[in-house]
Structure 1
């Protein structure tokens, strides 16, 4: 079995990625969320590595990838998506199954709607493409922005990137928080405490609003191309609640949806169960 931690040069940047499984198997590309890295998929990749070829990159400025300063690289969802698109082309990936969580949604959906021929199916875990499903925290961010309350927004952003905030993101909404490996939130915290990391995350955080105008484009992709889709969703997520997962069924006909008694980082708690759903989804 292939088990590698690798780096590759993409548009002049060193991009770190995890690769497991064998290249002659079905490929799953896994795109992580905020403020995490490919480490969030560690347990899931271990569960699936015997039967699939798994690739999980860290975005520029995240995890173990190169992190140019905000003056050296413009951290936007468009630019990060362009890096991942080039990453896919350089590794000659495709067609593949695309698994997205949180930020992975707007990054992955940009690529899927532009190059639908790459996508064999979608696996969506707590990543929105509809206005339905904005949870308590997402609405709070929206309200700060609507009221131009920069102090409130900055304070909330600071909390989300603190160790206490990271623990709440990983443990909040989970059914058995005592069973979640602390290394998940401690790893996020370690990456965030590197020089310049919080400035990078702040730039991406403030750019998130550019995704809403893309929703209709992604929904058109769903309607037109009808990708086979698996929804696996932590229904206690304060960012994206259950109706965000349900909304995909408005446009996608061939869809399987499973909601778990878990939070935003569902895989911390349910990697085995989600792996079983993925196995069934791909084999059918």
Structure 2
């Protein structure tokens, strides 16, 4: 508790937007502002696909890769990135079909988690990121963990936020999706159409949040505009079906945790109905030294609890990535 209090106190100082210094004139104060962080918005061609990514921070800093969930994009990290970029090179890509990346026709492009991991690998290779910590959330978990299986020696740390790797984490919300996995029928596929509707998108941002006044409606309006692009519904339905291929890999993900023991911080919205807290606790079986923080919030925890999460993440990375590039 004492360490957490000190962490929050230090974080308050670190993230303060301005400071005051006494001047030689008693009735004046000199306001010193920190230089604003510059975020770069770039696109890289990877295997013939344009992958959009956000990047910030020193080029020679330890790399932190931010892997987003459904139905959002690197947009979900827009507020966190400036708070990490003082010390870390932060890279947040959009998967194909999400955000500003290309969205090829689903009949001509494999929308699979394995393919996504290959493309993220290609992007990181092109950017010269040879070692990296990973922040994984929702879809970002199977993408990141597949990447970890390919290159376990590259992963310096994990930050896990509502990202599943255990059977216990797939509860009632997943029953209609599991039906589609089982029969692969058009009827079951069509039955999932509501998952890409505005009502569901808004639900993901608002359900279980401790303070709805913190949640900008821009989030679900932004995401829904991208979901509603021609052909995007089929892209998302293909991904719902392919998610089944992640589940047989859970034992391999768990073996990676046990064997490599990456330093791990778990910051989990405990009120999430999609990836509930039942999926957070099992990590401690394989990573007993992991830090687990269950927060009173929902699926997109960063929208509600950034002021709590950012100091925890910054402190964790500071302890675990010191001297690691």
Same fold (TM over 0.5): yes
- Per the TM alignment, residue 143 of structure 1 is displaced from its structure 2 partner at its CA by 4.9
- Tell whether the 8 Å contact from 1:130 to 1:215 is kept in structure 2 after alignment: yes
Distance 2:206 2:172 in 1: 16
Q: Give the TM-score, by structure 1 length.
A: 0.95
3-state secondary structure, aligned to 2:71: coil
- Tell whether the 8 Å contact from 1:184 to 1:268 is kept in structure 2 after alignment: no
RMSD over aligned Cα atoms: 1.6
- Tell whether the 8 Å contact from 2:177 to 2:240 is kept in structure 1 after alignment: no
Equivalent of 1:56 in 76, 86, 92? 92
1:267: which partner in 2? 302
3-state secondary structure, aligned to 1:222: helix
- Tell whether the 8 Å contact from 1:2 to 1:22 is kept in structure 2 after alignment: no
Whether 1:160 aligns to 2:195 is yes
Q: Which has the larger radius of gyration?
A: 2
- Tell whether the 8 Å contact from 1:145 to 1:153 is kept in structure 2 after alignment: no
2:235: which partner in 1? 200
1:239: which partner in 2? 274
- Tell whether the 8 Å contact from 2:179 to 2:188 is kept in structure 1 after alignment: no
- Per the TM alignment, residue 150 of structure 1 is displaced from its structure 2 partner at its CA by 5.5
**1:1-284 to 2 correspondence within 5 Å?**
1-143=37-179, 145-146=181-182, 151=187, 154-155=190-191, 157-284=192-319
Deviates further, 247-256 or 40-49? 40-49
Distance 2:182 2:95 in 1: 29
- Per the TM alignment, residue 270 of structure 1 is displaced from its structure 2 partner at its CA by 1.2
- Per the TM alignment, residue 51 of structure 1 is displaced from its structure 2 partner at its CA by 2.7
Q: Give the TM-score, by structure 2 length.
A: 0.83
Which deviations, in whole Å up to 9, do the C-alpha atoms of 1:56-110 show, x marking residues without a partner?
Answer: 0001111100111012211111111111111111111131110000000000000
List runs of 5+ in structure 1 lacking aligned partners: none
- Per the TM alignment, residue 176 of structure 1 is displaced from its structure 2 partner at its CA by 1.0
How many equivalent residue pairs? 283
Change beyond 3 A, Cα 1:207–1:145:
closer
Task: State the 4+ residue runs in structure 1 displaced beyond 4 angstroms.
Answer: 143-150
Distance 2:72 2:156 in 1: 25
Distance 1:161 1:16 in 2: 22
Change beyond 3 A, Cα 1:275–1:207:
same
Distance 1:276 1:162 in 2: 34
- Per the TM alignment, residue 49 of structure 1 is displaced from its structure 2 partner at its CA by 2.3
